[in-house]
Amino acid sequence: MARPPVPISMAKGHRTIAEKKARMRNEADLITGSALQEWPEVYRNKIAHTRFVKTKNLLASIGKDDAMMEPVINRYCLILAECYECEVEDKRLHDMAEKLEEREVDMDFTDYIKSAIAITKAIGANQSGLQTKRKMLLDIEKESGMTLMSQLKTTTKKTKVEKDDSGAMFG
């Protein structure tokens, strides 16, 4: 199986000057030239903001911090923050369940059962929401990776070799 293409800046091995110039030109055509911007709602959310800064720095290190990725990265950071909030809520609900078990002997049995059922339903709904958000995160991660790969795949790898009238080749 062939290896996936890499940007010319990371490519190893012999490349002609013409091939390097063509690849650099083609790679430059795939970016807007506008910087990735953080949305206000991401900035206001501490967790989302922290993840955005980290992700933006990582993308900048490979030259992919382009505005074309802006909606995906901002949405990813917001969903990640929502996952954290769901995890905090899950811990709170489990703590409530433990406290309810400690008070079981002091409570009326029907009140205990009603409370236990309500907490169990809340835990289930929270877990379901968390699982959905994690699936969304995974989908975004996969799509973002495929988008970067598709950018690289659309880059011309070889220059067209032409022959002049004398039979000499140039590229």
Kindly report the CATH number assigned to the domain that includes residue 61: 1.10.287
Q: How many independent structural domains does the chain possess? A: 1
Is the pLDDT assigned to residue 128 strictly greater than 80? yes
Residue 167 lies in a domain: no
Q: Is residue 161 part of a domain?
A: no
156 has pLDDT over 90: no
Dist. CA 18–CA 71, nearest whole Å: 35
pLDDT at 145 > cutoff 60: yes
159: in domain:
no
142 within some domain: yes
pLDDT at 61: 85
Assess if residue 125 is contained within a domain: yes
Whether 4 is covered by a domain: the verdict is no
For the chain, the distance separating the N- and C-terminal CA atoms, rounded to the nearest angstrom, is: 28
Q: Where are the beta strands (DSSP E) in the chain?
A: 162-163, 169-170
Please name the amino acid found at residue 167: G
Domain that holds residue 45: 32-151
- pLDDT tens for 64-122 read 788 888 999 999 999 999 999 999 999 999 999 999 999 998 999 999 999 999 999 99
The model carries a pTM of 0.69
- Asked whether residue 166 is domain-assigned, the answer is no
Predicted local confidence at residue 6, as pLDDT: 62
pLDDT at 151: 58
The answer to whether residue 98 sits within a structural domain is yes
Q: Which residue has the higher pLDDT, 60 or 79?
A: 79
